[in-house]
Structure 1
Amino acid sequence: MADGGITVLDGTQLLNADLRLPLPNGAVTGSQLIPLCESEASAHLFGLSLPVSAKSAVIQRLNGNGDLRSKEFGEGESQKAMIKEYLVTLADELKDDPLVISILDGHALRVFMDDEDDFAMLAESLFTDLDVDDRGKLSKNEIQNALVHMGVGMGVPPFSESRDLLDSILKEHGAEGEEQLGQSQFAELLQTVIQDLADALSKKNVTVIRNIKVINGSKLKKILADENLLSSVLESMFQEWDTTTRGAGNKEKLRAIIESKAPELSLPPSETSEATVLLYDQVFENVSEETGSLNRFAFLKTVKTILEMFADQLEANPIFVDFES
């Protein structure tokens, strides 16, 4: 996979997974077993360190039958069953809130390096952006900022994730000093740094969680399946509809109400992307124009049908909301 490309971790990687790590000898407590559960999950998720929020959510759910940390698990099958339960619970969490990752292996950096014109344009653009005083000179230590500007999308891991690796490469090439470089010299230094970084990543990939949310209809389906929660949401929407339209509503006003409730309904924010606009257009294309005089019963039925259409569309074609751009 190319650097900067994305992989969605939605839990399917954990279901029916064979355990890879050795089990402890003898009985252990939940506190001792949890780190192994986390390591086992990481082994199936490209070596990713699980976010604290995901780990906390899993433990909270597993604590439903008592304090997991104080339980004792005998050697062998008891431990294996607990680890399996952890993986299945984490898979369910990721189904609702998938993680989006990029696996940086040096490929994208080599793509830039292999095309002289592309690299020249990249180096020139970075030099211009960093030369804020328009002096035609940059100090060597601006190479670090150039890497930051390139970012994960171009295959460079964040310094927060790979500080030791990046600092080591910069130090090796003296890219920490104040020596002033012209554009061509800057490009030459950048080229050697990128080449070494690509080589290092090819030997040891870096997995990075992207700030991208996947909306796949899973949470909306849970709302639709919970009669009490669904009733509360629909009643709230009807009150807003009845108050604001007073019998003079239309499809556009109904759409506006649903768009305003997007966070509550786990729908993508309206007009965040072409895909989102298309989603709303496709769903409301099937909604009758005759919505102005909907009574309470008809309104609740109509909106429920609309939400079901959203859930089906999102399951088939999830929406990616990019908070990095």
Structure 2
Amino acid sequence: MADGGLTVLDGSRLSAVDPCLPETDEPFTGTQVLEIAESQIASSLFGLSLPENLKLDALKRINVDIESFLDTKLDREQASSKLKDYVIAIASELKDDPLVVAILDGSPLKLFLEDEDDFAMLAENLFTDLDTQDTGKIRANQIRNALVRMGVEMGVPSFSVFPRLEDILKEYKAEGEESLGQAQFAQLLQNVLQGLVDALAEKHVVVIQNIKVINGSKLKKLMADEKKLDDEIGKIFQDQCASGEGRASTEIIRSYLEKNGPNLGLPPSEANEAVSLLYDQVFADVGGKNIKKLDKDEFGGIVKDILEKFAEQLEANPVFHDLDG
């Protein structure tokens, strides 16, 4: 699934993966099984190396103790079973908590380079930002800072995730102390970016974004767990009992969810305007919204109805919460 230039990895791509072991008569170790699985998973996820916490959560999901499993000897049948279980567990983890990634393939940079006006404006803005002394000159090695300023948002990977950038700077002599005017800087930047476009076309870079996707999956888990759901309803009901006579039950429920929603699988109420609209939409169509006091069963029914509406809306239209914002 893609959204606004970003790609959401929600496990659906792994449904086509048919995990298989290499042909051998030798037993497999747990380490080998995980390496085989992660290689096959990566090939379906644009070459992405999954975060360690996600992999550990997937292993917990299939009741694997990582420390003892790594050196465990497995026959082919056992290894094949664990391999498939692990891939399914990774897919389930991604379904519950999707990753948002930027796939850097050089396309945005190519568009800049093909549009003379856009590129000229970009080069001018970067030069102005880097010419902090307002001398009309900057050093050639400031190209590095220009690339950092452009960043993933403009299709430039960091040096740490794409070391080949260092080679590109060397190739175009963008590491020295030579002073450059704006026109010279623009020409050097153009050469470096073209080299980067060519390099990214050969080998894409996948960068995980610090964006949380709330798609109703966590909320559905809560609703499927009767004890946890009843406990949560009890907490909200206590708020009603403690409130004065002037507040409607739905007002109390909304206040509680806005405060505690992220723990239940709802997006933070202050995340963005879309979340405010989501709350308004859900609560606009709730029965009994003007009733001041309800008994616990009636109150619980309204809470469940509200949570079901949230789950439906989030499944249909997931909320993207920028954790850096």
- Structure-2-length-normalised TM-score: 0.90
* 8 Å contact kept, 1:62–1:68: no
Identity of aligned residues (%): 51
* 8 Å contact kept, 2:9–2:100: yes
Q: Match of 1:159, as an amino acid? A: F
CA distance in 2, matches of 1:2, 1:283: 26
CA distance in 1, matches of 2:8, 2:23: 29
* 8 Å contact kept, 2:140–2:180: yes
* SS state at 1:158 partner: coil
CA distance in 2, matches of 1:317, 1:43: 28
Which runs of structure 2 are paired with 1:222-237 in the superposition (5 Å)? 222-237=221-236
Q: 1:141 to 1:234 in 2, by over 3 A?
A: farther
* 8 Å contact kept, 1:138–1:181: yes
1:249 CA displacement: 1.2
* 8 Å contact kept, 1:2–1:104: no
Equivalent residue for 2:43?
43
* SS state at 1:48 partner: coil
Q: 1:266 to 1:129 in 2, by over 3 A?
A: farther
Equivalent residue for 2:74?
73
CA distance in 1, matches of 2:87, 2:97: 15
CA distance in 2, matches of 1:126, 1:237: 53
1:36 CA displacement: 1.6
Equivalent residue for 2:11?
11
* SS state at 1:141 partner: helix
Equivalent residue for 1:54?
54
> RMSD of the alignment, in Å?
2.4
Equivalent residue for 1:249?
247
Equivalent residue for 2:168?
169
Matched, 1:108 2:140: no
Equivalent residue for 2:273?
274
Count of residues paired in the alignment? 322
* 8 Å contact kept, 2:14–2:41: yes
Of 250-259 and 115-124, deviating more is 250-259
1:64 CA displacement: 5.3
CA distance in 2, matches of 1:142, 1:291: 65
* 8 Å contact kept, 2:9–2:94: yes
* 8 Å contact kept, 1:14–1:44: yes
CA distance in 2, matches of 1:197, 1:51: 26
* SS state at 1:267 partner: coil
Q: 1:25 to 1:160 in 2, by over 3 A?
A: farther
CA distance in 2, matches of 1:2, 1:314: 16
Equivalent residue for 2:302?
302
1:324 CA displacement: 4.2
1:191 CA displacement: 1.0
CA distance in 2, matches of 1:3, 1:186: 34
Query: What are the superposed Cα offsets for residues 20-71 of structure 1, whole Å, 9 maximum, x if unpaired?
Result: 6635541122233222222222122111111101111122222359953354
Equivalent residue for 1:215?
214
* SS state at 1:208 partner: strand
Q: 1:324 to 1:4 in 2, by over 3 A?
A: farther
Q: Match of 1:228, as an amino acid? A: K
Q: Match of 2:69, as an amino acid? A: L
Q: Give 5+ residue unaligned stretches, structure 2.
A: none
CA distance in 2, matches of 1:171, 1:235: 65
Of 16-25 and 281-290, deviating more is 16-25
Equivalent residue for 2:317?
317
